[in-house]
Each structure stands twice: as structure tokens, then as C-alpha cells.
């Protein structure tokens, strides 16, 4: 065992501390896709195309048709805590975008090789920039400038290569590229329900064929039909809006229908959230109604006054802190329960996988 007691305290090199912090935001390829996807929605994209090599472990190619990035901003694009979405601490109280910490692209660039190609509307050409450790890499010996001009279309394409090349432990713990691919498809499926007007696609980089595709449609229900099948939509009940201090909207499967694998999609103010306490409560409600081994489909989109919500709890923003969480859960449960009992009929149970 090493003797640590007589060592003095030293500051970590910035590159080391940045890489450690990046590991909290970027856990796996799906975290990269989630951060890029939220940026694209913030940038008003209507079409998002993801192509992956080795489930994203080797390459993530992510293309949007959003508003693009001004070439003058490329210098700061991957610097930690550089953002166009807030300026003062109080802005956190009314944050209306996904992003605000200016950490995502920085984090990605600390743990991968990142190339960004972007073009604003009405520009004559695009710019391509290559980043490492939060910085634009200085131009190479051949003198090719970075960023450099190139042809392109409006929008932004990110190419993330060799994720965790400099974090060998993390890289080794992610060995199953099929599983990583599934995580990404699952994420895209969920976001495509909440953002039906955005068209999403995902494919393996080496295949022209899409493994996942949603066209732009005009309702969440239409999107659920595209993603989970029309049969499911026929078994759904609409819930919401209710309440004064918050509102919600969603679709829940009825008491005569069940899935072999549970599907819980919770969004709060547009963000996909792991809401364990709500999930547990809803699951025990359905447990008393569904046959053993059966699970519901639940999609709930909650809108809360941003003042009552702290999204700044975790860098990956999957957890949030809601004031009056218990009250909100109680109200949601009550409304689900009422809807289920109101519409439960004597039809036969059946289970779908």
C-alpha cells in the first residue's frame, strides 16, 4: 500500500481535471448523442441524422439542419463554461433551453477527437474545425488552417471519433457495441415522441439502410404510432392537463393491455428525465390491474414553472430537483387512476411483447 500521509497537496493539471469532469457528463456514446441532440433542438433543427460505427464507440456522425454556428464562435465552441444560452446566474431561474452550462461540447472534446462542420443560413460556404481538449487544434505543418472553409449546407455536423481514447478504464468497461447502439436507438425513440415535428434517423455508418427513422409528424400520438406501432395507439388513453401549479399531457396504456417490457417516458419542461419515484408509484398502480409480468406504456410530459425546478443538479441533467415533487406525483397518480377506472371495461386481457 502506498503511504500517502507525507505527500503535499498539488493542483491537478487542467487537462487532467477537465478529463475527470468530462467523465461525469459523457458516460457512454448515448450521452454524446443526447447532448448533441439537445443542442440541435435548441438550434431549431427539424432533421437529425445519426450514423454510428461500433455503436458509437469508434465514430458518431451527427448531422442537423439547425441554425448553424457563426465562424467567429468556433474559437470558444468547445471551451468549458462557454455558452450562448445564459449570461448571469439568475438566468438559471428561467432557463428555456436544454443547454446552459456550456459543458457538453467541451466535455466531448476532452474525451474524443471532435470535428465540427457548420454553416449558417445565407452563407456561401461552411467551416470545418477540429478540436482536442477544448481547443481548436493549431494548424498542421502543411499549413492547412483550422478552422477551414469548405462547401456545405445549412446546419451542423459533428464527428466524434475514438471516444474515451484517453480514458482506458472507461473505454474498456464499454465493450458491447450492440448494447451501446441499443441505448442510442432507445434515446432517439423517446425524443422522437416528445418532438414529433423533428425527423430522426439512425443507421450503422457502413449501411445505407436506416435502423430507425421517424418522419416529421404533427402529433405525439402519430409519432407513438410510428415508433411503437399503431396497435399500441389504439390502447392508449389521453391524460392531462389538470392543475394550476403545473400542467401535463400524456398517453397511458389502458388496464386491459400490457407490454412484456415496461416503457416509461417522462419529460419535464422538454427534458427526458429518469423519474424513479414517479415510475415506482405508477408501476405499483398498474401492478394491481395488469396480469403478472405485464407492464404499461406511459408517456407523460410535465410543464412546470422554471422557478420551481432546479435542473442544475447533475452535469448530465438526467436528474432534476422539483419543488413540491410529492404533490405533483400525487396529482399525476390521481389523474391516471381516475382515467383507468373510468374507462376500464370487461374486455379480455392480452399481452404484447
Integer Cα distance of 246 and 305 in angstroms: 7
Residues lying near ligand ADP in the complex (CB under 6 A) = 35, 39-40, 43, 64, 66-69, 77, 83-85, 99-106, 156
Under the binding rule (CB under 5 A), the answer on residue 99 touching Mg ion is yes
CB of 177 to ligand ADP, least distance (A): 25
Per the CB < 8 A criterion, the answer to whether 106 and 82 are in contact is yes
**Is the preceding peptide bond at 147 cis, omega within 30 degrees of 0?**
yes
In the shown chain, the binding pattern of residues 221 to 260 toward Mg ion, with x for contact by CB under 5 A and - for none, equals ----------------------------------------
The listed partner (ligand ADP, Mg ion, none) that binds 47, CB under 5 to 8 Å by sort, is none
Under the binding rule (CB under 5 A), the answer on residue 109 touching Mg ion is no
In sequence order, which ranges of 11-103 are alpha helices (DSSP H)? 14-25, 29-42, 74-77
C-beta of 187 vs 332, nearer to ligand ADP: 187
Name the grid cell of 102.
Answer: 456550456
Which residue's C-beta sits nearest to Mg ion? 99
Name the grid cell of 52.
Answer: 454510428
Under the binding rule (CB under 5 A), the answer on residue 104 touching Mg ion is yes
Work out which of 30, 37, 39, 226 binds Mg ion, going by CB under 5 A.
39
**Segment lying near Mg ion (by CB under 5 A), choices 26-34, 74-82, 92-100, 119-127:** 92-100
Name the pairing type of β-strands 309-310 and 271-272.
unpaired
CB of 168 to ligand ADP, least distance (A): 25
CB of 328 to Mg ion, least distance (A): 26
Per the CB < 8 A criterion, the answer to whether 239 and 339 are in contact is yes
Integer Cα distance of 58 and 212 in angstroms: 20
CB of 158 to ligand ADP, least distance (A): 7
C-beta of 56 vs 68, nearer to ligand ADP: 68
- Measured CA distances, 262 to 146, 152, 252, 258 (Å): 47, 42, 12, 9
Per the CB < 8 A criterion, the answer to whether 212 and 202 are in contact is yes
Binding footprint of Mg ion on the chain (CB under 5 A): 39, 99, 104
Amino acid at each position: 500500500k502506498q503511504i500517502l500521509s507525507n505527500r503535499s497537496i498539488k493542483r491537478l493539471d487542467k487537462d487532467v481535471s477537465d478529463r475527470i469532469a468530462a467523465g461525469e457528463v459523457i458516460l457512454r456514446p448515448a450521452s454524446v448523442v443526447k447532448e448533441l441532440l439537445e443542442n440541435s433542438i435548441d438550434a431549431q433543427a427539424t432533421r437529425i441524422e445519426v450514423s454510428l460505427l461500433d455503436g458509437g464507440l469508434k465514430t458518431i456522425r451527427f448531422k442537423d439542419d439547425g441554425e448553424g454556428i457563426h465562424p467567429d464562435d468556433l474559437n470558444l465552441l468547445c471551451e468549458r463554461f462557454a455558452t450562448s444560452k445564459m449570461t448571469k446566474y439568475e438566468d438559471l431561474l428561467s432557463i428555456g433551453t436544454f443547454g446552459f452550462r456550456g459543458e457538453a461540447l467541451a466535455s466531448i472534446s476532452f474525451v474524443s477527437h471532435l470535428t465540427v462542420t457548420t454553416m449558417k443560413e445565407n452563407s456561401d460556404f461552411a467551416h470545418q474545425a477540429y478540436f482536442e481538449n477544448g481547443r481548436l487544434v493549431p494548424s498542421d505543418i502543411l499549413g492547412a488552417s483550422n478552422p477551414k472553409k469548405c462547401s456545405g449546407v445549412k446546419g451542423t455536423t459533428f464527428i466524434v471519433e475514438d471516444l474515451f481514447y484517453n480514458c482506458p478504464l472507461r473505454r474498456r468497461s464499454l465493450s458491447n457495441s450492440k448494447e451501446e447502439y441499443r441505448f442510442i436507438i432507445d434515446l432517439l425513440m423517446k425524443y422522437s415522441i416528445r418532438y414529433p415535428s423533428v425527423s430522426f434517423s439512425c443507421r450503422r455508418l457502413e449501411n445505407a439502410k436506416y435502423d430507425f427513422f421517424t418522419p416529421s409528424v404533427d402529433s405525439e400520438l402519430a409519432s407513438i404510432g410510428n415508433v411503437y406501432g399503431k396497435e399500441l395507439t389504439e390502447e392508449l388513453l389521453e391524460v392531462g392537463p389538470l392543475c394550476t401549479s403545473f400542467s401535463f399531457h400524456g398517453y397511458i396504456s389502458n388496464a386491459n393491455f400490457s407490454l412484456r417490457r415496461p416503457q416509461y417516458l417522462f419529460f419535464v419542461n422538454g427534458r427526458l428525465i429518469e423519474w424513479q419515484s414517479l415510475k415506482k408509484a405508477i408501476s405499483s398502480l398498474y401492478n394491481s390491474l395488469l396480469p403478472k409480468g405485464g407492464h404499461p406504456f406511459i408517456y407523460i410530459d410535465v410543464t412546470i414553472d422554471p422557478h420551481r425546478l432546479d435542473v442544475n443538479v447533475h452535469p448530465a441533467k438526467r436528474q432534476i430537483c422539483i419543488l413540491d415533487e410529492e404533490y405533483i406525483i400525487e396529482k399525476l397518480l390521481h389523474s391516471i387512476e381516475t382515467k383507468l377506472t373510468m374507462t376500464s371495461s370487461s374486455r379480455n386481457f392480452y399481452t404484447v411483447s
